[in-house]
């Protein structure tokens, strides 16, 4: 296989494993007796490790140039850690086990993201065409597992997830060895105050968007099942969101050219506000729930593709892996864990509809930050932010 195919295959299996864990592990924890608050805690813990793990792995990769070796080590570690789920149902034992698994499982992605963008060089618009294979893997995983779990016990989820993790570990052996990275650029050496401010504002906006999605990832499946949707339908709804995501990935280069990244980011945040309010208050109207899932094209694909590209521009040269790790840690790690924890508390205190409305409020805060803090600028260095 050529380099593009090997990267695409890794994304396929990695996000197939995400399609097993993210939509269904909340249901698994519920099946072994966990409360809503405990489910929120476990799903948040999966994200908490993203605050620490990617930064450690990214620092090692940038400092020692051993990106592929670290990806292999982390992928193998996630398989070994996951085996622990077969031997315990004890809530207290599951706490360190979930943390240990997440530490390894979350490590490879930012390293592979940096490797992919480094491979593409100036052709970063080609990122979506490689990344969409991750979306395809997620769809096939989430639909087939949803269908399967309506026919077998939820413990079968463990075996399916283990097989997918073994696929990730095997494919990590065939990733390309990263070539020499360009020298450290001027943004790393002496960041102008305006650039530092933009990075802080942007990362904070990412934090709010990921907090909103942390609520969604932790509780969407549980909320649907509690309201009468069977697991096969739950899987199809998740798949619909990712199908919409794939469509967005395919047209992202044209969207960038026509609208600019800043305008697309603003649209993504507004789409998230609408999406989460609809999920919270239109749960009894399947047509609106279906429509809300199509907004995943905006709230994930448009947002994430724009975000990793901006981070790639903000952190050039040898800081690429650390830049992607910082985005993963602050956005998906801190934000995702905050969403899981707050979501569990708000659900127990005020109900799931209020919880999803809170997710919409977080997305609105992200919109305001981008609107006010990331103004388009006329110079070439800020062209990425232009309208």
Q: What is the pLDDT of residues 119-169, one digit of tens each?
A: 776 565 577 778 889 888 998 999 999 999 988 888 899 999 999 999 999
Residue 349 three-state SS: helix
CATH number of 3-174+192-385: 1.20.1250.20
> How many Cα atoms are found within 13 Å in the side-chain-facing hemisphere of 121?
4
HEC string of 218-267 equals: HHHHHHHHHCCCCHHHHHHHHHHHHHHHHHHHHHHHHHHHHHCHHHHHHH
pTM across the whole model: 0.75
Name 249's Cβ contacts closer than 8 Å, sequence gap at least 6: 128, 129, 131, 132, 135, 301, 305
Contact 341, 40 (CB under 8 A): yes
Q: Measure the CA–CA gap between 291 and 351, rounded to whole angstroms.
A: 23
Average pLDDT over residues 294-315: 84
Write down the pLDDT at residue 355.
96
Closest listed residue to residue 171, CA positions, set 106, 108, 98: 108
Write down the pLDDT at residue 342.
92
Write down the pLDDT at residue 184.
41
Q: Is the pLDDT of residue 384 over 70?
A: no
Contact 355, 234 (CB under 8 A): no
Pick left, alpha or beta for residue 261 (phi over 0 → left; psi -120 to 50 → alpha; otherwise beta): alpha
Q: Measure the CA–CA gap between 310 and 385, rounded to whole angstroms.
A: 9
Q: Measure the CA–CA gap between 209 and 212, rounded to whole angstroms.
A: 5
C-alpha radius of gyration, the chain, whole number = 20
What are the residue ranges of helices labelled H in 260-316? Answer: 261-281, 286-294, 296, 303-314
Q: How many CB atoms lie within 10 A of CB 227?
A: 11
More confident residue, 381 or 48: 48
Q: What is the pLDDT of residues 337-367, one digit of tens each?
A: 889 889 999 999 999 999 999 999 999 999 9
Q: Measure the CA–CA gap between 342 and 181, rounded to whole angstroms.
A: 40
- The answer to which of 99-113, 196-210, 229-243, 302-316 has the lowest mean pLDDT is 302-316
Per-residue confidence at 382, pLDDT binned at 50, 70, 90? very low
Q: Measure the CA–CA gap between 300 and 133, rounded to whole angstroms.
A: 15
Share of the chain above pLDDT 90, in %: 45
Both tokens of residue 121? 């060089």
């Amino acid at each position: 296989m050529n380099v593009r195919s090997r990267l695409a295959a890794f994304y396929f299996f990695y996000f197939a494993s995400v399609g097993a864990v993210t939509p269904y592990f909340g249901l698994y924890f519920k099946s072994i007796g966990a409360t809503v608050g405990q489910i929120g805690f476990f799903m948040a813990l999966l994200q908490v490790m993203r605050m620490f793990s990617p930064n450690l792995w990214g620092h090692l990769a940038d400092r020692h140039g051993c990106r592929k070796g670290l990806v292999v080590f982390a992928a193998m570690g996630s398989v070994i850690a996951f085996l622990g789920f077969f031997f315990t149902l004890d809530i207290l034992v599951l706490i360190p086990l979930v943390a240990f698994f997440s530490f390894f499982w979350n490590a490879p992605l930012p390293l592979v993201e940096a490797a992919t963008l480094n491979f593409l060089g100036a052709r970063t618009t080609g990122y979506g065409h490689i990344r969409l294979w991750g979306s395809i893997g997620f769809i096939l995983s989430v639909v087939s597992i949803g269908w399967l779990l309506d026919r077998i016990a939820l413990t079968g989820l463990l075996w399916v997830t283990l097989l997918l993790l073994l696929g990730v570990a095997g494919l990590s052996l065939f990733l390309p060895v990263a070539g020499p990275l360009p020298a450290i650029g001027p943004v790393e050496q002496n960041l102008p105050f305006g650039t530092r401010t933009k990075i802080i504002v942007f990362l904070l906006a990412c934090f709010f968007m990921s907090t909103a999605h942390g609520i969604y990832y932790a509780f969407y499946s549980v909320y649907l099942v509690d309201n009468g949707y069977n697991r096969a339908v739950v899987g199809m709804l998740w798949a619909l969101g990712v199908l919409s995501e794939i469509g967005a990935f395919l047209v992202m280069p044209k969207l960038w050219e026509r609208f600019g990244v800043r305008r697309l980011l603003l649209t993504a945040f507004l789409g998230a506000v609408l999406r989460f309010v609809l999920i919270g208050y239109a749960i009894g109207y399947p047509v609106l729930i279906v429509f809300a899932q199509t907004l995943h094209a905006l709230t994930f694909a448009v947002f994430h593709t724009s975000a990793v590209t901006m981070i790639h521009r903000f952190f050039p040269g040898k800081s690429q892996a650390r830049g992607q790790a910082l985005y993963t840690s602050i956005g998906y790690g801190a934000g995702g864990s905050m969403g899981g924890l707050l979501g569990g508390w708000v659900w127990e205190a005020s109900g799931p509809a209020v919880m999803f409305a809170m997710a919409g409020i977080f997305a609105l805060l992200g919109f305001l930050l981008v609107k006010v803090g990331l103004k388009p600028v006329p110079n070439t260095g800020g062209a990425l932010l232009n309208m």
